[in-house]
Chains A and B, each alone.
Chain A
Amino acid sequence: MPQVSLTVNGKQHSVEVEGRTLLVELLREKLGLTGTHVGCDTSQCGACVVHVDGKSVKACTMLALQAQGQSITTIEGIAHADGTLHPMQEMFREHHALQCGFCTPGMVMSAIDLVQMHPEGLSEHEIRDGLEGNLCRCTGYHNIVKAIAAAWPIMHGKEAVAA
């Protein structure tokens, strides 16, 4: 069986996988990182979004072998080592942007990348467009949008502007 070497949440791993193994299967089944979820089989729902070298990627659209030499960050890897939540996680909690929690890891990982890609600012409309690849069945997205808008100034070190 082929072997893949990659960094996940700052830790080096070398794992034997079948050629057809998806990155999400590697994370969940081989590395026990079950925070990354699988909600569909057509790359529509975004529950499996992780960061690959800092960019959001649906981990069901990528073979594990394609991650050779790359650095993966999952939902388990974004809080500080002392347990302090990432600002996006904190704002999701503050604004009640999650209910059942199943879409949440992918939603948070997408949202972090979305905010990082827009240092110039993010309108409500741009946030909604930016969530095109993530489905949530519980919240109606209302509070997710609020949470991302609230995380933007914190992540960019700016004062919050009135919505």
Chain B
Amino acid sequence: MGFEGIGASVRRKEDHRFLSGRGHYTDDLNQPGQAHAVIVRSDRPHARLLGIDAAAARAAPGVVAVFTGADLEADGVGGVPCGWQLHNKDGSPMAEPKHPVLAVGKVRHVGDPVCVVIGETRQEARNAAELLQIDYEDLPAVASVRDAIVPGAGQVHDDAAGNVCYDWQIGDGAVVDQAFATAKFRVRLDLTNNRLVPNAMEPRAAIGAFDPSSGDYTLWTTSQNPHVIRLLMGAFVLHIPEHKLRVVAPDVGGGFGSKIYHYAEEAIVTWAAGRLKRPVKWTADRSEAFISDAHGRDHVSTAEMALDAEGTFLALRVRTLCNMGAYLSTFAPAVPTYLYATLLAGCYRTPAIHAEVKAVFTNTVPVDAYRGAGRPEATFLLERLMDVIAHDTGLDRVALRRRNFIPREAFPYQTPVALEYDSGDYHATLKTALAAADWDGFPARRAEAARRGKLRGIGISTYVEACGIAPSKVVGSLGARAGLFEVANIRVHPTGSVTVFTGTHSHGQGHETTFAQLVSDQLGVPIDQVDVVHGDTAKIPFGMGTYGSRSLAVGGSAMVKAMDKVIAKGRKIAAHLMEASVDDIEFRDGRFHVAGTDKSKALSDISLAAYIPHNYPIEELEPGLDETAFYDPKNFTYPGGCHVCEVEIDRDTGTVQVVNFVGVDDVGRVVNPMIVEGQVQGGVAQGIGQALMEDAIYDKQGQLLTGSFMDYRMPRAGDFPPMHVTTENTLCTHNPLGAKGCGEVGAIGSPPSVINAVVDALRDYGVRHLDMPATAPKIWSILQTQQPRMAAE
């Protein structure tokens, strides 16, 4: 066995099954006797439901049942709950309108589920769905946040006046106003953060089953957090106690946030399985995913910075309108507040910040966390603002950032917007990134590109983010209706192999490998003797799941705590077996040693004794070697870094090509560098996708115009150059691993670096700012309408 512990780029344990077609994704599973559900969805953005005539559908061949919202309501099925409660500036709670599982009275977005048709086969259910007659009366619809807050706009919910969900603030507005009054420079930027569709490659699916003999329900679902689904669906929607409800999230084909939330379809198949006494399966097709998976981003903001004559930041003022969609998805209220506004200090010593956030209902798909969640929006705002400040004041964009960085020696650093950063070195990651990108050599490359007729630009983004969510007490005070600890159970088997049960969930992150490496590192067990089990509430004590780059920082820390308990118990057993004092037992390299002697015993000797306790300190110690830890961190973690992007623009077409990308990220302790690089590369691809091509576009009436892969521009292999990503780490100071998290840094840090590069490429055309995505038509029209200030070099 080679080195397999912390720091080794071990090849992944899970790959063999995925590469040979033996993964078990939800749609690959089938239950005996299962029926197939097809969800009939609203094709109207906003309408009153006048009636549903299901007679023909019910009589169609192979139809098992047709259910509507009225059937669920009559059975006492509750609405889809929201996991966070925000409060308005005046202290009153946010508007929280009911979110029916199947529409009752009204439909509020294209894709809103109206009926479920259940057939013997999926085709029969689909055929029957065509026969449903749904009578609608169209109502005025609103799709954009700007339109939704206009007086007289169509009202999405009767109990959300003016379509406002909440009107919230953080920071001290009076102090900020005072700083602005006396500042030398005041720089303002209006910007939007484009709406995105997460588009994990595996569409969502769910299978509900009911066992009439035991009264137990099982739900297999494409989820990032099965215990949370069990809690939300069991307690609030279907009223099934936890001990009668098992939720399994098997192999899941990507999530990026979109598979965190409790969705109506999970409740529909579980409820229908109980009603019909047979399993019911539903799988989304991609068109359905576009109008039913929670979308991401969709902010409209104004940012203003006050600076002194030297370019030192004095105060930041931000006003943001954010789109909640038609209903509140599980995490939605938290994203533009506690994951966004609290990040507005960025990596800078801005002494005063005031942010006002107004969340707005519209007739669109619910919006919730998508990779980065709030932090990409904050980073895009700040890092665009940096370059606009440089543009308006004539200060150098790198020097401006350096002047205002929180220096390494200032940690722990309390920002004016609630967070206390524990560690980081922004100067170091900036320096390394600039060197790796040959920042100083750029003018020559720009001149060379100009000779080829291309406009070349370079941009940077220096960012910090808050992840590893997080301390239960803190998130509770911020409105979370759940704790955010993590759970690990380390089971050392009699012969010394180990099973790890974790409450986190892997849907691409490689946990089966990384967590086995942790065990190898701490217990000295080879990774092929370690299995990692996740995604099943029947096997795992509890867990909050995977999102917010929390699995290693929180879940891995729980494993370390559980392994500490294993070692502590093992030392007592070893002391007994070797007739030594517990204080003299040292554990290293997988063996318990008696200090100062050559006596030692392997972990497998100790585990065998623990399960066959013939010679065992049974008076003081229980048999077995199986330990569980719940770990609740003290703080968020704060990854940061610097991204540098270089682009070339084709003058004739306006097409932007990324020609170089460098990322230097501080993600804390790295367990598997290969996996970390892969996570960052994937995040960067999503960030570049947001910056250059992806856009969920609704028309004024609330129809999604980009509802398929033919309309929504997904990034493809040809859109990218090779990426140069590396880490330069400082350790998290408050978790036992020093880990910060790497899942989102790519998507958080990269978008502004791309747009900064595009704007830099267009600097001769008088471009100060460009909203995402920087598509060819957008740039082409700038090139057509603006005269360059000077001939290219």
CB 8 Å contact bits of A72-98 with B (1 = contact, 0 = none): 001110010000010001001110101
Q: Which of A98, A103, A137 is the one whose CB lies under 8 Å from B15?
A: A98
Chain A residue at minimum C-beta to C-beta distance from B28: A34
Most chain A CB within a 10 A radius of its CB, from B14, B199, B508: B508
Taking the complex as formed, is A63 at the interface, i.e. its CB lies under 8 A from any CB of chain B? no
A100-B252, A140-B684 known; A39 and B20 CB under 8 Å? Answer: no
**Residues 105-137 (chain A) with a chain B CB within 8 angstroms:** 105, 108, 124, 127-129, 131-132, 134-137
Q: Are B717 and A127 in contact (CB under 8 A)?
A: yes
Taking the complex as formed, is B704 at the interface, i.e. its CB lies under 8 A from any CB of chain A? no
Q: Are B201 and A137 in contact (CB under 8 A)?
A: yes
A34-B28, A138-B508, A140-B723 known; A102 and B716 CB under 8 Å? Answer: no
Most chain B CB within a 10 A radius of its CB, from A92, A105, A137, A144: A137
**Residues 664-701 (chain B) with a chain A CB within 8 angstroms:** 674-675, 677-679, 681-686
Taking the nearest CB of chain B, how far is it from the CB of A18, in angstroms? 7
Q: Are A139 and B200 in contact (CB under 8 A)?
A: no
Q: Which of A20, A41, A135 is the one whose CB lies under 8 Å from B716?
A: A135
Q: Which of A38, A41, A108, A139 is the one whose CB lies under 8 Å from B685?
A: A139
CB 8 Å contact bits of A5-41 with B (1 = contact, 0 = none): 0000000000000101000000010000111111111
Q: Are A98 and B709 in contact (CB under 8 A)?
A: no
Q: Are B201 and A100 in contact (CB under 8 A)?
A: yes
Q: Give CA–CA (A26, B596) in the complex, Å.
A: 68
Taking the complex as formed, is B61 at the interface, i.e. its CB lies under 8 A from any CB of chain A? no
Interface window among A42-50, A51-59, A150-158 = A42-50
CB 8 Å contact bits of B258-295 with A (1 = contact, 0 = none): 00000000000000000000000000011100000000
Chain A residue at minimum C-beta to C-beta distance from B21: A35
CB 8 Å contact bits of A137-148 with B (1 = contact, 0 = none): 111111111000
Q: Are A85 and B685 in contact (CB under 8 A)?
A: no
Taking the complex as formed, is B89 at the interface, i.e. its CB lies under 8 A from any CB of chain A? no
Q: Are B15 and A18 in contact (CB under 8 A)?
A: no
**Residues of B in contact, count (CB < 8 Å):** 57
Q: Are B286 and A99 in contact (CB under 8 A)?
A: no
Taking the complex as formed, is A101 at the interface, i.e. its CB lies under 8 A from any CB of chain B? yes
A131-B716, A132-B718 known; A139 and B286 CB under 8 Å? Answer: no
Taking the nearest CB of chain A, how far is it from the CB of B440, in angstroms? 26
Is chain A's binding surface mostly helix, strand, loop or mixed?
A: loop
Taking the nearest CB of chain B, how far is it from the CB of A55, in angstroms? 19
**Residues of A in contact, count (CB < 8 Å):** 53
Q: Given the complex, which residues of A lie within 8 Å of B722, measured CB to CB?
A: 124, 142, 145
Q: Give CA–CA (A1, B717) in the complex, Å.
A: 41
Taking the nearest CB of chain A, how far is it from the CB of B9, in angstroms? 8
Q: Which of A28, A102, A129 is the one whose CB lies under 8 Å from B253?
A: A102
Q: Give CA–CA (A130, B20) in the complex, Å.
A: 22
Q: Are B21 and A39 in contact (CB under 8 A)?
A: no
A40-B286, A96-B12, A137-B686 known; A35 and B717 CB under 8 Å? Answer: no
Q: Are B508 and A141 in contact (CB under 8 A)?
A: no
Q: Are A139 and B681 in contact (CB under 8 A)?
A: yes
Q: Are A145 and B20 in contact (CB under 8 A)?
A: no
Q: Give CA–CA (A89, B12) in the complex, Å.
A: 13
Taking the nearest CB of chain A, how far is it from the CB of B738, in angstroms? 23
Q: Are B714 and A135 in contact (CB under 8 A)?
A: yes
Taking the complex as formed, is B254 at the interface, i.e. its CB lies under 8 A from any CB of chain A? yes
Q: Are B508 and A132 in contact (CB under 8 A)?
A: no
Q: Give CA–CA (A85, B674) in the complex, Å.
A: 21
Q: Which of B507, B509, B682, B714 is the one whose CB lies under 8 Å from A139?
A: B682
Taking the nearest CB of chain A, how far is it from the CB of B719, in angstroms? 8
Q: Are A99 and B716 in contact (CB under 8 A)?
A: no
Q: Give CA–CA (A74, B27) in the complex, Å.
A: 17
Taking the nearest CB of chain B, how far is it from the CB of A78, in angstroms? 8
Q: Are B681 and A142 in contact (CB under 8 A)?
A: yes
A–B pairs, 9, beta carbons within 8 Å: A41-B285, A89-B20, A96-B678, A100-B253, A101-B251, A104-B19, A131-B718, A134-B717, A135-B714
Give B residues with C-beta under 8 Å from A.
11-12, 14-25, 27-28, 123, 199-203, 251-254, 256, 285-287, 507-510, 674-675, 677-679, 681-686, 708-710, 714-718, 720, 722-723, 746
